[in-house]
Chains A and B, each alone.
Chain A
């Protein structure tokens, strides 16, 4: 090969490399702009939860705020000396978030409701899925067809008749009202049934030979094999119900002891005057953080779980 050809090839390779680089750089540029827009409200939320009221109103202090002590007028109104009422913005925002409303109680309610919903969904769906996948009985196809039909129904859309039924039973403003409509997850049945179809029959036959009852087979043989699918479904279910605002808004009216975190935040907004932006954003941070942290720790599983519905 002549020198000229060699150097020409070199130039070519360089040009290709350059083209590749400008292309990658452009891609990054576009994605970074997108990322900034996506992150903007998270930035605002965290920043405002750290700042003092006057910094929020005058848009000063950058991301962290100056963190100077400021005068808590409410504290003075209560008759305390001015010196005792100087507070640090972060401490003020986050402590107000917990003091002004029973935020801990709301968080606890959120945990109670989401966990109960998931546990009941599994208790109902797993045996049904097992029967649909592995048992032969009259009407099986009809039941499965019904499951497929029910997948069409968004529960939020039938909130009104459900609300009337619960009201007639005197169940509004109770944990039961928050949980009952979600006890049946046809999606869960469908998902677990598809999963159980892939479990070999030999496993079940062997268990029957050992004299296990059908109940024991479900909870001791099928359940352990289904852990990965169940985890994904669990994430799907917990995320949906921790963040759900519509249904709690309808069935919980006024009884603060039953508020879930989104309702608690909404109430905060209802009486927010200028001074309350900081504590309100602190509340928002506290409500959003648990799922975000779990998501960052187990991203793959979360993305799997949330996009599970893609299997329909």
Chain B
């Protein structure tokens, strides 16, 4: 064979980089998580599982998990639901649909850090457009709503600086940014459904739109949904840009927005507590890998790569 040993030179560099950049760091993180290492110190002492114990007992980390899961469990269902909803509506339109698609996809393209700064301005309690708009509704029927009347009587929420609202406001921005991505994936899924199936379903008596959705669209979108849900989980677990931009120190009002990536950054980079940072990294990786393995399990019941 003329191909000889050329493959070594083809696969070698990629293999080497995979080990150095992806695999060895995981081992390093695993190793460091058992120590109290700091960058610049000559040595480190072995502390066993102390770092993990801290993560699962201290209230700071309880807040970290609380904030992360709140964010994830708001953003994932909403981005998936809104993505599917927008895709169904746009798909039913035909003409003009492309215009909406373009608009809804814009946030995916824009640098999140830039848009986060704009949202921060929009949510500004005194000069932001959100509260200014809400104030305009004062004195109308909206005041019948208790929350609204309270806002008019005193002030509307401080949003990002209000510990009861901060995590939800950040989640809202996450949804705003992410649902267009899911919409596009769902649109691709929808166009691959053969129209003849709808005709067949209609002949079998599925006259209402809801029946057609339940019997044809939803089952056939199954693989798309599995993928969309997984990638939404992984993306939302990694939320960082907004949190760092809004709250450079400490993770928001009474740590209510102290998400995991920010905790890794704060402990490891800002405070040079590599041991605890590495332990959070390991926990984080476990979450992500479990999620992806669940997805693979779903997918591999249907398709095979090789």
Chain A: residues with CB nearer than 8 A to chain B? Answer: 24, 27-28, 30-31, 34-35, 37-42, 44-45, 48, 56-57, 59, 124-125, 127-128, 130-132, 135, 137, 143-144, 146-148, 150-165, 167, 180-181, 183-184, 186, 189, 194, 208, 213-215, 218, 239, 242-243, 245-246, 249-250, 261-262, 265-266, 269-270, 277, 280-281, 284, 287-288, 291-292, 295-296, 299, 302-303, 306-307, 309-310, 312
Which residue of the partner chain, among B28, B89, B103, contacts A164 with CB atoms under 8 Å? B28
B111 within 8 A of A: yes
CB distance from A226 to the nearest CB of B (A): 15
Residues B17-76 near A (CB distance < 8 A):
17-18, 21-26, 28-29, 32, 39
- Per the bound structure, the CA–CA distance linking A307 and B178 in Å amounts to 12
- Cβ B103 vs Cβ A38 within 8 A: yes
Binding site of B, secondary structure by majority: helix, strand, loop or mixed?
helix
Closest to A243 in B: B111
- Per the bound structure, the CA–CA distance linking A55 and B11 in Å amounts to 60
12 new A-B pairs (CB below 8 Å) besides A40-B129, A132-B11, A160-B269? A38-B103, A44-B129, A48-B121, A137-B11, A156-B238, A160-B29, A184-B18, A265-B117, A288-B110, A295-B105, A306-B184, A309-B231
> Across chains A and B, which 4 residue pairs bring their CB atoms closest together, nearest first?
A127-B10, A161-B25, A128-B14, A184-B17
**Chain A positions within 8 Å of B98 at CB level:** 299
Known A41-B122, A127-B10, A162-B25: A307·B185 in contact at CB below 8 Å: yes
- Cβ B21 vs Cβ A30 within 8 A: no
B217 within 8 A of A: no
- Cβ B13 vs Cβ A160 within 8 A: no
Known A27-B89, A56-B127: A41·B115 in contact at CB below 8 Å: yes
**Chain A positions within 8 Å of B234 at CB level:** 154
- Cβ B227 vs Cβ A296 within 8 A: no
Known A160-B278, A306-B108: A262·B89 in contact at CB below 8 Å: no
Which residue of the partner chain, among A34, A147, A186, A269, contacts B245 with CB atoms under 8 Å? A269
CB distance from B172 to the nearest CB of A (A): 10
- Cβ A42 vs Cβ B106 within 8 A: yes
Closest to A45 in B: B118
Known A27-B89, A160-B281, A245-B241: A155·B15 in contact at CB below 8 Å: no
List 6 A–B pairs whose Cβ atoms lie within 8 Å, in order of A's numbering. A27-B92, A42-B106, A127-B9, A150-B23, A153-B22, A280-B117
Chain B: residues with Cβ within 8 Å of the partner, total of: 87
- Cβ A161 vs Cβ B281 within 8 A: yes
Known A162-B25, A184-B22: A31·B100 in contact at CB below 8 Å: yes
B102 within 8 A of A: yes
- Cβ B109 vs Cβ A291 within 8 A: yes
B180 within 8 A of A: yes
- Per the bound structure, the CA–CA distance linking A264 and B244 in Å amounts to 14
Which residue of the partner chain, among B29, B106, B184, contacts A161 with CB atoms under 8 Å? B29
- Per the bound structure, the CA–CA distance linking A39 and B288 in Å amounts to 32
**Chain A positions within 8 Å of B292 at CB level:** 151-152
Which residue of the partner chain, among B17, B103, B240, B281, contacts A246 with CB atoms under 8 Å? B240
Chain B: residues with CB nearer than 8 A to chain A? Answer: 2-4, 6-7, 9-11, 13-15, 17-18, 21-26, 28-29, 32, 39, 86, 89-90, 92-93, 96, 98, 100-115, 117-119, 121-122, 127, 129, 132, 176, 180-181, 184-185, 188, 224, 227, 231, 234, 238, 240-241, 244-245, 248, 261, 264-265, 268-269, 274, 277-278, 281, 284-285, 288-289, 292-293, 305-306
- Cβ A37 vs Cβ B176 within 8 A: yes
- Per the bound structure, the CA–CA distance linking A167 and B272 in Å amounts to 12
- Per the bound structure, the CA–CA distance linking A281 and B119 in Å amounts to 11
Closest to A281 in B: B118
- Cβ A299 vs Cβ B102 within 8 A: yes
- Per the bound structure, the CA–CA distance linking A181 and B20 in Å amounts to 9
- Cβ A41 vs Cβ B118 within 8 A: yes
Looking at A42, A163, A245, A277, which has the most chain B CB atoms within 10 Å of its CB?
A245
- Cβ B121 vs Cβ A277 within 8 A: yes
**Chain A positions within 8 Å of B3 at CB level:** 135, 214
Closest to B240 in A: A246
Closest to B267 in A: A160
**Chain B positions within 8 Å of A38 at CB level:** 103-104, 106-107, 176, 180
- Per the bound structure, the CA–CA distance linking A239 and B109 in Å amounts to 7
- Per the bound structure, the CA–CA distance linking A41 and B264 in Å amounts to 29
**Chain A positions within 8 Å of B102 at CB level:** 296, 299
CB distance from B17 to the nearest CB of A (A): 4
- Cβ A292 vs Cβ B25 within 8 A: no
- Cβ B238 vs Cβ A154 within 8 A: yes
**Chain B positions within 8 Å of A158 at CB level:** 22, 25-26, 29, 281, 285
**Chain B positions within 8 Å of A208 at CB level:** 2
- Per the bound structure, the CA–CA distance linking A153 and B26 in Å amounts to 9
CB distance from B75 to the nearest CB of A (A): 16
CB distance from B245 to the nearest CB of A (A): 6
